[in-house]
Each structure stands twice: as structure tokens, then as C-alpha cells.
Structure 1
Amino acid sequence: MPEISVSNESSSTASRYSFADRITLTGVGCVGCHGVLDSEKKTGQPFFVDVTMFTSFCASSASDDIAQTANYAEVAETIREVITGQSVDLIETLAEKLASTILSRFAIDALELTVHKPNAPIEVTFSDVSVTIFREKQA
């Protein structure tokens, strides 16, 4: 398993990836049983994930071979596997699990990932709760 950086995104990291090739999946959703409340763990609720994966397209575009890139269909299946898997309390923990799993399975350099929890048990009107993280593989 590759070592993954858990430091916050720095301005030099952000600029390094600002012009990078990227694959983006938006709104990958399924039901998971994550949350602090027992009712969230029993009933489940929808979670949606947006992920932007940073990688070079040089090899894949030259070969026209899907094996040379991150197969976004497989990434979507990985997201479903993690969300429907073992329950966690915090969406921050879920985001970390998603990021580390995707980074370990696919030929990407870094990713930015957002987990949305639109049905969070909040007593005031809101449209969404989300967390966003940026992680990169370490050489």
C-alpha cells in the first residue's frame, strides 16, 4: 500500500496540480450506514461523492489503453464498496477511507474528494453537509 500524505494542501501543492490532467466523477451515490446516531447506523441514508483524480494522460492517450489510466467505472465501484462497507461515525473518517482506498488501487498521483451527506440529522433547514479533502501519494 502506498504511503499517503495527510498534511493539509499547501499553496505549492495546489499550484503543482492546477494544470494537471484530471478525471472527475461527480455525484456517485449510494446508501450507507454512517453517523454518530444509532438511527443513522440502522436505517442508512444516501451519501454522494465527488472525486477529482490527478494523473498524467500521456501513457493512456498514446496507447489508447484503459489499463494505462484510472478506470472511472472501477473507481465508482470502489466508492460504492467503501460507502456500503463498515460503518463509521464521521464523514471525515469516511472521506479518509475513500481517499486511501482509491489512491492505493489506481494509478493516480493525487485526488480531491468531497463526501456529501444531504440527509444529515440536523434540526434546521439546510441543503447539504459535506467535507472535502485533498490527498496525494508519496514517492
Structure 2
Amino acid sequence: MRDRVELRGLRARGHHGVFDFERREGQDFVVDAVLYLDTGPAAASDDVGDTVHYGLLADRLVRVVTGEPVNLIETLAERLAAECTAEPLVEGVELTVHKPSAPIEHEFSDVSVTVTRGRRGQW
């Protein structure tokens, strides 16, 4: 299946990181989720109930980012991917977490972790 629904650039403030100041002050994280599912039924019915309601999914993803802190964005990415694959119609997800304000003492444009998951782990 190669149909996909994409939610890109979802921004939320979280308190993730290995340093005390990251946990205390927080920072913005940006999430990109590419959901793989069959969009044919939704196209035929024109009913949001036959697809993934990306607005409601965005709410759940923001709750994960703003929720319980973790040390690594790898862990955060795994939790977000699990939220996506919990959607009954989603066969797989490519989920990227960007940490644009990562504590690096050099100029950089982005730090990110991407995981690809399906209903049975790696997809």
C-alpha cells in the first residue's frame, strides 16, 4: 500500500533531553508523520470516518510531545509512531522528530530522528 496521509511541521513544546536545563526550560519539537493506509474507501464514501482524522491525531501527538519527558528523541519518536499505528486504518508510519534547538555548540540547521513502523514493529 502506497497511499499516504501526511502531517508535517506539527510543532509543540516539550521538556525532553538529557540536560537539566532542557527538562526545566523546554524547547520546541517538530513532528512529521507520513501515514500509509488505503485511502480508497474514504475517497469513495467522502466520509472522514473512512480515513484517519488528522486533526484528532495531531491532538494526540501534541499530548505525547507535551507529556512525560524522555531523555532521547529516539524514545519520543517511538512513542509518537506507536500513537500513529494505534489508528486502525494505518498500516505503517514514517515518523520524524526534529529538535531544531538541540544543545549543540556549532551552527546547524536540524537534528532529527526518523523511525519507520508498522503494526508488527519495523515495517
Q: Give TM class, smaller chain.
A: over 0.9
Matched with 2:21 is 39
Matched residues in 2 for 1:105 and 1:25: separation? 14
Letter in 2 for 1:98: L
Contact 1:33–1:45 (8 Å) recurs in 2:
yes
Of structures 1 and 2, the one with the larger relative CO (CA 8 A, separation 6+) is 1
Paired residues in the alignment total: 120
Helix, strand or coil for the counterpart of 1:76? helix
C-alpha distance in structure 2 between counterparts of 1:106 and 1:88, whole Å: 26
Structure 2: unaligned runs, 5 residues or longer: none
Equivalence for 1:28: 10
CA distance in 2, matches of 1:42, 1:67: 40
Calculate percent identity across the aligned residue pairs. Answer: 45
Length-normalised TM-score, structure 1: 0.83
Runs of 4+ off more than 2 Å: none
The structural deviation recorded for 1:40 is: 0.3
In the alignment, is the contact (CA less than 8 A) between 2:38 and 2:89 conserved in 1? no
Structure with the largest fraction of strand: 2
Describe the SS at the equivalent of 1:124.
coil
| CA distance in structure 1 between the partners assigned to 2:25 and 2:102 by the alignment | 12
CA distance in 2, matches of 1:72, 1:106: 13
Aligned to 2:92: 110
Is the counterpart of residue 86 in structure 1 residue 68 in structure 2? yes
Q: Which runs of 5+ in 1 are unaligned?
A: 1-16
Task: Provide the aligned C-alpha RMSD in A.
Answer: 1.0
